[in-house]
Structure 1
Amino acid sequence: MIYTVNSCISPPYCFIQVESRQMLKRRAVARCGLVLLSLWLCIQSVPINVDKAKETPKQDQLDPPQSADTGLHYDRYLREVVEYLEKDPHFKEKLKNADMDDIKGGKLAGELDFVQHNLRTKLDELKRDEMNRLRMLIKAKHDIKDGNGHMVDHQALLKQFQHLNHGNPDTFEVEDLDRLIKSATHDLENYDKDHHDNFKKYEVRKEHERRERLKSMSEADRIREEQHYEEMRKKHADHPKVNHPGSEDQLKEVWHEKDGMDPADFNPKTFFKLHDTNGDEFLDENELEALFTSELEKVYNPGNEEDDMMEMEEERLRMREHVMNEVDTNKDRLVSMSEFMAATQKEEFHEKSEWETLEQKPLYTEEELRQFEEHLANEANQINSKSVELEKQRQELERRQEELNAKKLGQKNCSVCVIFTLQSVPAAPEGQQAPAVPGNIHPPPPPLLLCVCVCVCVCV
């Protein structure tokens, strides 16, 4: 308020204030300009010559190679256990010389007794952490209810705990390693099958939705849509030759286009070392799948309407499975140098035939599509039944709410009526005593008090 009065009385003072603020802003802008100019001059100045011979070259700090994600829900725990075990020279040597039958049979797990004590302590900590994670998981799952209020599938839940010995939650023992190996082997063997099943469901659903869209179209629109669909199919099928995965032509193409080498100088041993990216002397599934990128790019382009990237990933998996079946002789899901070199000596390695891509064979039958549509229809009927039941429950709740509201309204009207009676009772004339009741020595209460008592009796 004081500032407002002063500004009204002395307008020149306000003008001076505004002018001084503007001057301060100009000075601030000028100073910023000088600073920016100085920085520009520093940047444009002639650099000082440095004797590069005296400089110490900086060493690149490379992170340790990371293991490929297996896709299992306990992948992190599995990788950490393997990393710690490989730090023990004795166990690492046994692991290197073991075949898949020894690993599945549990012979390798018995070597845990000879692992160094400090590593065993770390494994104990890992197990306790995993136990805590699973406890949190099961608690969360018990909190989740489905639409009918039942608990989640306990069998599916218990499968997530098979890789641990819950009888001993504190220390990592031979049984823990044996369980972990068997669970991982079993789950990885089923991983591809689950992927194929999910992909088939995806394709069936996609075709079902396409046909449903056609049903809702007019005849002219339906014809145009069918023509467009056939054009896209033909366009997708029109691609360069896809070499057989793992064949000489396919590997030479990677050697030339990705590695920048002369096809005439192709050397299988050098090729293996170039693509063993983590240096563990094996080609794992991820390293193998990376070899098929050039072939997949011939068929699939993310920018093309006719190309489905879900189909590309299914194609990549099929290629990897094909190579593994031909090259991975001990079925350990890894390709060693010896297995790779042996595969290059087979007749299949020089195969010139083209790889049969997904669009060249049916992915599902009409019977499978019909079963899928029946399943959807049953689900829709169940949802409709639940909707009808919920609607009945809603109507019943509304009816009860209306009854409750009517009851409350009746009580309110009763009170209003009594109050009106109270206001209608005339008071006794001033100075006149109310008549006494025979046999009662006390005078009667005033009419207002009597009416209040009546009100309480009526409303209660």
Structure 2
Amino acid sequence: STHPKGLRRGRDTGLHYDRYLREVIDFLEKDQHFREKLHNTDMEDIKQGKLAKELDFVSHHVRTKLDELKRQEVNRLRTLIKAKQDLEGGNDIAVDHQALLKQFEHLNHMNPHTFEVEDLDRLIKSATKDLENYDKERHEDFKKYEMMKEHDRQEHLKTLDEGERKKEEEHYEEMRKKHADHPKVNHPGSQNQLKEVWEEADGLDPDDFDPKTFFNLHDTNGDGFFDEQELEALFTKELEKIYDPTNEEDDMVEMEEERLRMREHVMNEVDSNKDRLVSMDEFLVATKKKEFLEPDSWETLEQNQAYTDEEMKEFEEHLAQQEQDLSQRADDLQKQRDELQRQQEQLNAQKIELQQVRSEAALLTKARTTLCVFRPSLGKSLHDQDRDNKLNMRGICKSVAVQCDQLCNRLLSTLTTKVSFQKSSSTA
């Protein structure tokens, strides 16, 4: 195959720009000139960018559509990066600008409007490189999954008393042995393995096994190649010997890792031009090799621990550091919360004092108004009433005046206290 690393049809590559990649390839293949060049160009020439130069000769309609696809992809990436920056910046986490820029490696973002030769060249090279690393990243993810599973198991054991811990360990060993007790697994891609598929999945006589017929039966889209999905489908019968989703001892995440290992192994053995596809010729050549007829035994996952003791130690240290960082972050947040609570209490106290000042000021105003109204009538009363009444009225007047003085002094004291409190708060 001459397609860039097996990018034929609509199979999801798992890359973050998969949709863009698919749409570009689909539209380029609609151009007759480009399609012919694609099928007649050697894989190494494609990697070196020779195919990308043919973009200048595709039809105007295709170029216009590619321009539109690129603009959509640039907008998608900008939205994605903006969201990441908002999220990370809002959490006081340093933004990894290198990781963000890597999102744009598959296109020329300096020209966000038109799809040029450089864009196709970048897309092919990025997809080739990223797909080569994709399986490696999946293996790393699986390793972390297994280490986390073991970490959680050990942490759970720490919460148990001696009797419960012993019982739990015995159950764990029982499940481990039960999982390992399964029928023999054939070497992936060997004659025995393919014959079982021929017999059990295809319902054919194993004595009539024919590699060419087998290939045509399992080339499900009829394009003359086994892609990764078609290859992985061949291992289902083998995986069913080891894994059953209804069994407690069987982990379906491990099953997918085993499937990946099998596919990688066959690809390494059979895919001679390393394009992530197995052609009919490559398949037939492989069936004539000694390894096809007399393969080595296949070691399953339970015979190959996913991580070393040193890797587990480093993983535990990393988790401990993460826990410490989270604890420190929690402490900082609690301190911020306490400080905000203290400030809120101060604000509430200031509000109460302000309300008191306003109430006392209102009383003072009312008292003064009463006194001003009362004094003129008081003067007339002193001439018209007897001595006792005069003394009573003077007493009332004096009492009101004293109350006014007390209110004034209290108001002055409150205002002085408030100013002092504000100064001390500002200093703090």
**Cα deviations across residues 166-195 of structure 1 (Å, max 9, x unaligned)?**
233332222111110000001001101100
Aligned CA distance change for structure 1 residues 417 and 133 (closer, same or farther; 3 Å): closer
SS at match of 1:73: coil
The aligned length equals 385
2: CA distance, partners of 1:303 / 1:153:
42
Match of 1:202 in 2: 145
Aligned-pair Cα RMSD in Å? 2.8
Give the counterpart letter for 1:125 in structure 2.
E
1: CA distance, partners of 2:153 / 2:14:
31
Q: Which moved more, 1:102-111 or 1:207-216?
A: 102-111
2:378 to 417, 432, 448: 432
1: CA distance, partners of 2:235 / 2:52:
35
1: CA distance, partners of 2:174 / 2:10:
43
1: CA distance, partners of 2:364 / 2:342:
33
Q: How big is the shift at 1:299?
A: 0.4
Q: How big is the shift at 1:397?
A: 2.0
Match of 2:392 in 1: none
Match of 1:38 in 2: none
**Cα deviations across residues 93-135 of structure 1 (Å, max 9, x unaligned)?**
3322333211211112122223233322222222222222223
1:257 matched to 2:257? The reply is no
Match of 2:60 in 1: 117
Q: How big is the shift at 1:339?
A: 0.7
SS at match of 1:149: coil
Q: How big is the shift at 1:290?
A: 0.9
Give the counterpart letter for 1:370 in structure 2.
K
Aligned CA distance change for structure 1 residues 422 and 310 (closer, same or farther; 3 Å): same
Match of 1:237 in 2: 180
Q: How big is the shift at 1:412?
A: 2.9
8 A contact 2:357–2:411 mirrored in 1: no
Q: How big is the shift at 1:430?
A: 7.6
Summarize the alignment of residues 128-139 of structure 1 with structure 2, pairs less than 5 Å apart: 128-139=71-82
1:381 to 305, 321, 324: 324
8 A contact 1:275–1:287 mirrored in 2: yes
SS at match of 2:275: coil
Match of 1:224 in 2: 167
8 A contact 1:200–1:364 mirrored in 2: yes
Match of 2:304 in 1: 361
Unaligned 5+ runs, structure 2: 1-7, 382-399, 416-428
Q: How big is the shift at 1:345?
A: 0.9
Give the counterpart letter for 1:388 in structure 2.
D
Q: How big is the shift at 1:394?
A: 2.0
Give the counterpart letter for 1:237 in structure 2.
A
8 A contact 1:284–1:333 mirrored in 2: yes
Q: How big is the shift at 1:143?
A: 2.3
Q: How big is the shift at 1:456?
A: 12
Q: How big is the shift at 1:201?
A: 0.6
2: CA distance, partners of 1:89 / 1:235:
57
Match of 2:277 in 1: 334
SS at match of 2:379: coil
Give the counterpart letter for 1:131 in structure 2.
V
Summarize the alignment of residues 75-154 of structure 1 with structure 2, pairs less than 5 Å apart: 75-146=18-89, 148-150=91-93, 152-154=95-97
Match of 1:276 in 2: 219
1:344 matched to 2:290? The reply is no
Give the counterpart letter for 2:211 in structure 1.
P
Aligned CA distance change for structure 1 residues 424 and 249 (closer, same or farther; 3 Å): same
1:291 matched to 2:237? The reply is no
1:310 to 233, 253, 262: 253
Identify the structure with bigger relative contact order (alpha carbons < 8 Å, sequence gap 6+).
2
Aligned CA distance change for structure 1 residues 78 and 434 (closer, same or farther; 3 Å): farther
8 A contact 2:360–2:411 mirrored in 1: no
8 A contact 1:144–1:151 mirrored in 2: no
TM-score, reference length from structure 1: 0.77
2: CA distance, partners of 1:434 / 1:360:
117
Match of 1:8 in 2: none
Match of 2:14 in 1: 71
Aligned CA distance change for structure 1 residues 415 and 341 (closer, same or farther; 3 Å): same
2:104 to 155, 161, 173: 161
Q: How big is the shift at 1:273?
A: 1.5
TM-score, reference length from structure 2: 0.83
2: CA distance, partners of 1:116 / 1:418:
86
1: CA distance, partners of 2:41 / 2:277:
13
Give the counterpart letter for 1:157 in structure 2.
L
Give the counterpart letter for 2:137 in structure 1.
D
Unaligned 5+ runs, structure 1: 1-64, 436-446
1:213 matched to 2:156? The reply is yes
2:126 to 183, 188, 195: 183
Question: Which is helix-richer, 1 or 2?
Answer: 2
1: CA distance, partners of 2:24 / 2:342:
62
8 A contact 2:9–2:22 mirrored in 1: no
**Cα deviations across residues 21-79 of structure 1 (Å, max 9, x unaligned)?**
xxxxxxxxxxxxxxxxxxxxxxxxxxxxxxxxxxxxxxxxxxxx952100011111111
1: CA distance, partners of 2:111 / 2:336:
50
Match of 1:14 in 2: none
8 A contact 1:241–1:354 mirrored in 2: no
8 A contact 1:244–1:351 mirrored in 2: no
Aligned CA distance change for structure 1 residues 89 and 269 (closer, same or farther; 3 Å): farther
Q: How big is the shift at 1:163?
A: 1.0
**Cα deviations across residues 247-306 of structure 1 (Å, max 9, x unaligned)?**
111111111111222211211111111111222211111111111111111101111000
1: CA distance, partners of 2:380 / 2:226:
114
Match of 1:13 in 2: none
SS at match of 2:160: coil
Match of 2:114 in 1: 171
Give the counterpart letter for 1:219 in structure 2.
E
